[in-house]
Amino acid sequence: MANLTDCIEEYLKKLLALSSERYVEVQRRQLAKKFACVPSQINYVLERRFSPDRGYLVESRRGGGGWIRIFRIETSHARPWREVIESLNGREFEPSRIRQLLKRMYEEKIISRRESSLLETVIKDRIYEEKGLSKNKARELQHELLSEALEELLKVNY
């Protein structure tokens, strides 16, 4: 195998495939020791090869008995929707337009009515105005919060 990163990736994916759980659990130190590298190399592999984009979710805990868990997550049909919303630029990101999108997501059964109403809350101009934010700042925040929220939804299929 060409390089460490590939080796570690392959190893972890094998573990994941063989595991009866929906995740694998490793210790950073141990894994680094196994591959004779510095611990931070593990973080590099996780970042590059087990990112959400690639369909993985990583959790960890520090301290004595710490661990790293890698989940394989289902990529649902929500992905294209998120991409649409993410790609909207400033002018296009208008609450009324977003509400329309959310409505369609609900109709397509991508999200529930309750989820839709939670997401609509995030794009309510009034809230940001009350806190004295400029229109631009508000738009940016709304955009970011919404993208992030949809991103989270993609992860929660397990």
74 contributes a contact to its own copies by CB under 8 A: no
* Contact mark string toward its own copies, 17..56, x via CB under 8 A: ----------------------------------------
Cβ atoms of 33 and 41 within 8 Å: the answer is no
The count of other CB atoms within 10 Å of the CB of residue 101 is 15
According to DSSP, the β-strands at 67-72 and 56-61 are antiparallel
Best CA proximity match to 44, nearest among 33, 32, 59, 54: 32
- When the beta carbons of 101 and 141 are compared against its own copies, the nearer one is 141
Cβ atoms of 70 and 16 within 8 Å: the answer is yes
3 contributes a contact to its own copies by CB under 8 A: yes
Cβ atoms of 131 and 141 within 8 Å: the answer is no
Residue from 28, 82, 139, 143 touching DNA (CB under 7 A): that is: 28
131 contributes a contact to its own copies by CB under 8 A: yes
- Count of residues touching DNA (by CB under 7 A): 29
43 contributes a contact to DNA by CB under 7 A: yes
59 contributes a contact to its own copies by CB under 8 A: no
Three-state SS at 64: coil
Best CA proximity match to 8, nearest among 75, 66, 73, 68: 68
Stretch that binds its own copies, among 12-20, 57-65, 92-100, 101-109 (CB under 8 A): 57-65
Interface with DNA (CB under 7 A): 2-6, 26-30, 37-44, 48, 58, 60-68
